[in-house]
């Protein structure tokens, strides 16, 4: 797994997971990528900006 990703457990209703899996399959994405896509889409729709962590700033802080 790339080190720039945050890993965590996510519990989903099985029917919701199945619906996301079908959508991911239709879009040629993994379920994980589809969930990330849907979350970004939802945040954008609500006007929430995602601030990417600058790699240079990350390196200055010892990779934290």
Give 37-64 pLDDT, tens digit per residue.
999 999 999 999 998 876 655 555 555 4
Give 1-29 pLDDT, tens digit per residue.
556 889 999 999 999 999 999 999 999 99
- pLDDT confidence of residue 63: 55
Q: Which two tokens stand for residue 46?
A: 């609500």
Task: Give the number of other Cβ atoms within 10 Å of residue 44's Cβ.
Answer: 11
Residue in 55, 51, 57 with CA at minimum distance from that of residue 2 = 55
Count Cα neighbours of 23 within 13 Å in the Cβ-side half-sphere: 14
Give domain limits for the chain.
14-60
State CA 41 to chain mean position distance: 10
- pLDDT confidence of residue 5: 86
Full-model pTM: 0.73
């Amino acid at each position: 797994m790339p080190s720039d990703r945050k890993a965590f457990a996510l519990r989903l209703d099985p029917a919701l997971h199945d619906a996301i899996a079908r959508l991911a399959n239709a879009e040629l994405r993994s379920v994980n990528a589809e969930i990330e896509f849907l979350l970004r889409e939802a945040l954008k729709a609500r006007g929430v900006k995602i601030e990417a962590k600058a790699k240079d700033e990350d390196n200055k802080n010892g990779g934290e």
